[in-house]
Each structure stands twice: as structure tokens, then as C-alpha cells.
Amino acid sequence: MTAPVRALVFDAYGTLFDPFAVKTRAEELFPGNGAALSQLWRAKQLEYSWLRTLMGRYENFWKITEDALVFSCRTLKLSCDEHQRKQLMQVYLTLPAFPEVKPALEKLSHLPLSILSNGTPEMLAPLVAANNMTRVFKNIFSVDTLQMYKPRPEVYQHAAASLGVPKEAIGFVSSNYWDIAGATSFGFRTYWLNRNSAIPDELGITPTAICSNLAELPRALT
Ligand code: 2OP
């Protein structure tokens, strides 16, 4: 019989908070390019996190997010001055939570809830505060402590060790399949939020359960 989940750990960007909300500001600054910029920006941000981890050349998530923005603007031939770049970066500190997130977390509040994110503490604290969730989370774990990004197993191990809960009793929740793959491979119980009916990657790794959004998680845990 499987042990019950004793703690929940959530990814931040894409899982709790919507990184594509930058599209609105991007569209205001560069009409007709908001969607393309927000998509390329996010894809490059993640690519830089993996490349830097593979090369052993860590730079924090704020820096690689800004680097990814510069690359994306150059690729799309958008002349983005420093002021515009700062405006877009600021949006990262106030991204909105997906609509179902707060009520779902309230239903899960009998368990210790934590965040484990690539974001720096300086990015995550204002983001959580902007969404009035400071008291919702027992811990906000950042990969910045370890200077390497998900899906390195050390990152998931850091959260498990800090919680003092066996990994098989920790439920890890992410909308990012690559993150779910890393967490499953590490040994967490995993819950993939597949909001957009994405196709799972061919990595030979299967999550414990799949939910179409966070509102389904309480039932998936029973
Ligand atoms: C995270 O929050 C980048 O979504 C990823 O760690």
C-alpha cells in the first residue's frame, strides 16, 4: 500500500503563477508581437537554465530571464531599450496566480505546502506577496541555494531534506512536464497539471496522476 502524501511541493512559474501574463505588457510595448515574444522568452529562459546547469555555469534566474528577453527581442527584431526591458522584467514580480489556485490551496491547507522554484528568493517573495499568499506557504525553496537548476536531482533532494519527510510521501505538483519527469525520476509522488492538453514527453517516465488543473488535486490525492 502506498504511504499517504504528508507534504506538497509546488513548482511556481506555469504551475501557480502564469508567466504568459507578460504577453499583455509585451503587446502594449510591441504591438502585434506580444504572443511571439512571451512564448520565445519563456522557451529561452528554460533553455538557458538547462544549458547553464549542464555547463556548470550558474547565473541566477533573474539574470537568465533578462538574458532570454534580450535574445528574444533581438530574434524578433524588436528594439527594446533598457526602460522597456525593465518594465517587462518587473511583470515577473507580479504575475497573477491561475484562477483556481487560491481556492484549491485552501482545500489543501491541512498539509504543509511549499514552493520549489528556479526563481530567486528575491523574485519569489514579492510574487507570492503580490498574490496574497505569503501565509499559504510554509517554505519557499529556491534552487539559488544550490546554484543549479531543475531537473537536477540535488534540487528535489534539497526540498525533501529540508522538509524532513521521506520523498515517497511528498507530492510534487508542476505543469511543466520536464519538471515532473525530474521529480518522478528523483522519487517524489508527482501530479502533472496539464492545463493545455499537452503531449507528455517521451522520456519513459510517468507521473503518479494527471490533473487538468489544481482544482482536481484534492481528489487526486485521496
Ligand atoms: C520554476 O518555477 C521555471 O517553472 C519553473 O521553477
What is the rounded average pLDDT of the residues 40-57?
98
Q: Cα(85)–Cα(81) distance, rounded to whole angstroms?
A: 6
Kindly state if the Cβ of 13 falls inside 6 Å of ligand 1: yes
From the list 96, 82, 99, 80, the residue with the least C-alpha distance to 28 is: 80
**Which entry of 11, 18, 144, 179 is annotated as an active-site residue?**
11
Does residue 118 surpass a pLDDT of 80?
Answer: yes
Position in ligand 1 atom list of the atom nearest CA 116: 6
Judgement on whether residues 193 and 101 belong to the same structural domain of the protein: yes
What pLDDT shows up at residue 182? Answer: 98
Kindly report the CA angle at 149 between 80 and 111, in degrees rounded to 5?
A: 110
102 and 172 belong to one structural domain? yes
Average confidence (pLDDT) over 115-132: 98
pLDDT of residue 1: 62
Residues 199 and 126 in one domain: yes
12 lines ligand 1 (CB under 6 A): yes
Q: Is ligand 1 within 6 A of the CB of residue 11? A: yes
Cα of 123 vs centre of ligand 1, distance in Å, is 11
Can you give the pLDDT at residue 104?
97
- What is the reported pLDDT for 3? 78
Pocket test for ligand 1, best of 45, 174, 175 (most atoms within 8 A of CB): 174
Q: What is the CATH number of the domain that holds 108?
A: 3.40.50.1000
Task: Give the domain range for residue 76.
Answer: 19-91
Residue type at 102?
Answer: K
The total domain count for the chain is 2
* Domain co-membership, 38 together with 134: no
Q: Are 217 and 108 in contact (CB under 8 A)?
A: yes
81 and 109 share one domain: no
Residues 141, 122, single domain; the answer is yes
Residue 53 belongs to domain with CATH number = 1.10.150.240
- In this structure, are 129 and 180 located in the same domain? yes
Tell me the whole-structure pTM to 2 decimals.
0.96
- Check whether residue 79 and residue 130 sit in a common domain: no
Average pLDDT over residues 78-105: 97
Pair (39, 82) in one structural domain: yes
Establish whether 11 is a catalytic residue. Answer: yes
Among 91, 113, 135, the domain-final residue is 91
Quick one: 134 and 203 in the same domain? yes
Last residue of a domain, one of 91, 110, 144: 91
